[in-house]
Structure 1
């Protein structure tokens, strides 16, 4: 895959006829161009991956050899970390301090899955009679990974490391708005020794992703994106009985009980709402606060939001960067207007900040707090995907759980309480794939990541993801010394 660059920080390559501009969301300037892959090129990428799976060395490498290569890839990613930090920050606008904190963990996923590979044990199954029965896991084949704009490398690493560890070959389709760090990673993996054809990248828009999900040689799709994209991928893969893992939208409730200090809870929970400028599927966008501390919490959250430093994402002092593009910015501003029209009040933010050139041409939105809200408002029910926190009061524990679950999404949830029993009790009652207590958005390679309801299906990370990139073969070996002659005079007498 090639890339034409107008910046020394991006990946070098050569030009071609059909290209797509890549923007710096902090300024709106074009920083690179990438190919708009044709449907024929998608097919070629899948065929290349298929050839590498069928005839290449990757699936047949010993476990230890494949694990060593993954560990070498992790080291190479670590060595290139500073370049990747700058590249991703410039491409998606996330503040460099956040990007460093996130991407510095990418090698962990490769090391974790290398460890799972090295430690993998085949099961021996119990049974009656003279039989030894065991299971083997085999790679699926060619897997497609479709990644979003908000966390390009981290989300890719979660699936890619597991797919490679289990012996699959891969075609990656990054978001058309943030492909640069993915293309850089491809070169890093090649230099680390991953064979040609094992990891392939196609770039472009929705038609490229649809071609990948519909391709008959794709055995599994892993997709992170909107609910409608996930639904379309699920339908496409179901037609040929391929697998799909989809992490989709969210409207994460953050439940704050009145046994906490409202100021401390607001200052801690602000991270849930405003990290990555709210462009996260598990962003704490719906704060459910017990009435006794509601007003104090809103006051503290508004003060924290107002104090957040907005600016150039490459500046370590910046705490909040732009949204990814003008479409995202305009949608968020429109949803703030919808909330106000429904009766919510803006307690902080509410618009686009005034910034000096060239940042004035970027896609910024102020950290915004909407209060006087009810749980049935669109602003409290629909995913805004921006730095907007909607605060809704609740009365008691049952009311909190009912409001938290009254939503079509079920990806993540947060709880703030000092009552240990309540924390476990409420976490058990909330319908969400992940629940954090007195914190938010914490993850490890060993923690399964995914949701329920319209937030998707399947899990990334953990042994669940590792295992789902394989299929299970059961082998039954008869160990008796005599022959098995069902129709003879000494019939076994037992079929099942």
Structure 2
């Protein structure tokens, strides 16, 4: 029997008064319109209601962002002034972190310990991008002939930022930071499950002096609000983090207006464990990679590909560690794993448990709703399947919950083949003490992010994004910042030679 137990020690709520959207620097009253209930995953209780924004609401937000983009109050800022202001936003966010920790934990159910560890680093995203803005230089390009040719990078305009429920504030801010530092404006549509911290951040930034219309928020679901935003002809860039199918639909809509795109989509992260790596340490990384955020991350350690010589030991120790993870109230500092986001998501995990059993895999940990459930939260035990074949559905399809599988391998080439046997290519990890093998395997795995002897690490300077069905473009780093600009080339004729193309006697006239 599993040792997992539910621990409930506190109940946190916020006002149930319906909230409106945030447009043009102010909250728009909800009024007699369609509302969505926002539930806390830790209890299942309704903690707030927000608007289901219509296409008309989205249009108003995009128009506000477009007007702000051209306004002297924003467009007229010098690079240095804007960079100072973006640094000020980092300070404002830092000053309100305690409030944001609690609101985020209430809204998405991650344990407060996880929330603190993650959000404490978010203000530095703004500081890093402010630095990139100060360091930005355009090019002078040597060309043939008597010409001075140079480039100018200009902010693209209105950015649609569609964010998920798993890291609401982190993912919003990793795109807000380059948006503001570049001089763009934005309309953010947070997940219908987790809009609360995004709405609060918009209020805080407005109070700090961010000009009206630079940061707008529309709340709603993907079918109505998300579709209206991604297909709006006024957006010049779409940034979306979500499932692959959502990215396909939103990307196609944005492409109809030739908006550029950055899409971070699904994943089925392989972790290759060689027998020269300490098994206990490999198990610790496995549990962290698979179950942090209740497994609701695109880089969840979903496939552990373990060398057969240590396979049995790895499975036994991972099962034991998984069973000991403390599940419970997200506000309890002793809680190690919280709930999944919704009853629907919990049922998805349980459905994949049934699929795994039907495929003949061996369930070695979890797979159930905890027996000592004492409230209405969406809890499910962290789950491990062993003796999995790489072609099984549980090894191919993204579950997006606390769910991982273990697959044996013999030779290095087999491990690489299994790791690449996936439609996804967001992230991967390698566990080995052989430096040459670490680099060799990292080079061979088809993924945009590779961790060697670690997992789930990010940095504001390191690009983040995937291959194949895991999306296009990069977030974080200078690669992300530069994607918020259009490039204009200027060519100046510095010579004084006469030119007349239609003088048929002229010699050495160049056409282009």
1:215 aligns with 2:232: yes
Residue 428 of structure 2 corresponds to which residue in structure 1?
A: 413
Residue 371 of structure 1 corresponds to which residue in structure 2?
A: 386
Residue 317 of structure 1 corresponds to which residue in structure 2?
A: 334
Residue 316 of structure 2 corresponds to which residue in structure 1?
A: 299
Deviation string 1:166-218 (CA, Å, 9 cap, x unpaired) is 11110000000000000011011112211001110000001100111111111
Is the 8 Å Cα contact of residues 78 and 107 (structure 1) preserved in structure 2?
yes
Residue 56 of structure 2 corresponds to which residue in structure 1?
A: 40
Q: Distance in 2 between matches of 1:11 and 1:484?
A: 69
Is the 8 Å Cα contact of residues 365 and 385 (structure 2) preserved in structure 1?
yes
- 5 Å-filtered alignment, 1:438-453, equals 438-453=453-468
Is the 8 Å Cα contact of residues 140 and 469 (structure 1) preserved in structure 2?
yes
Is the 8 Å Cα contact of residues 255 and 400 (structure 1) preserved in structure 2?
yes
1:494 aligns with 2:510: yes
Q: Distance in 2 between matches of 1:356 and 1:289?
A: 34
1:93 aligns with 2:100: no
Residue 123 of structure 2 corresponds to which residue in structure 1?
A: 107
Structure 2 runs not aligned, ≥5 long: 1-11, 21-28
1:151 to 130, 151, 167: 167
Deviation string 1:418-462 (CA, Å, 9 cap, x unpaired) is 000000000000000101011001001111111111111111111
TM-score computed with the length of structure 2 as normaliser? 0.93
CA distance change for structure 1 residues 393 and 379 in 2, over 3 Å: closer, same or farther? same
Q: Distance in 2 between matches of 1:484 and 1:176?
A: 62
- 5 Å-filtered alignment, 1:106-185, equals 106-185=122-201
Is the 8 Å Cα contact of residues 263 and 296 (structure 1) preserved in structure 2?
no
1:277 to 280, 288, 294: 294
Deviation string 1:244-302 (CA, Å, 9 cap, x unpaired) is 11100000000001111222211122111010000000000110001000000011111
CA distance change for structure 1 residues 9 and 187 in 2, over 3 Å: closer, same or farther? farther
TM-score computed with the length of structure 1 as normaliser? 0.96
Is the 8 Å Cα contact of residues 386 and 407 (structure 2) preserved in structure 1?
yes
Q: Distance in 2 between matches of 1:452 and 1:10?
A: 43
Residue 7 of structure 1 corresponds to which residue in structure 2?
A: 14
Most deviating of 238-247 and 218-227: 238-247
Offset of residue 10 of structure 1:
10
1:239 aligns with 2:246: no
Residue 307 of structure 2 corresponds to which residue in structure 1?
A: 290
Q: Distance in 2 between matches of 1:276 and 1:356?
A: 19
Runs of 4+ in 1 over 2 A off after TM superposition: 8-17, 54-57, 354-358, 481-496
Count of paired positions: 490
Is the 8 Å Cα contact of residues 16 and 48 (structure 2) preserved in structure 1?
no
Deviation string 1:297-327 (CA, Å, 9 cap, x unpaired) is 0111111111111111111111000000100
Is the 8 Å Cα contact of residues 259 and 417 (structure 1) preserved in structure 2?
yes
Residue 3 of structure 2 corresponds to which residue in structure 1?
A: none
Residue 26 of structure 2 corresponds to which residue in structure 1?
A: none
Offset of residue 60 of structure 1:
2.5
Question: Does the residue aligned with 1:64 lie in a helix, a strand or coil?
Answer: helix
1:59 to 75, 83, 86: 75
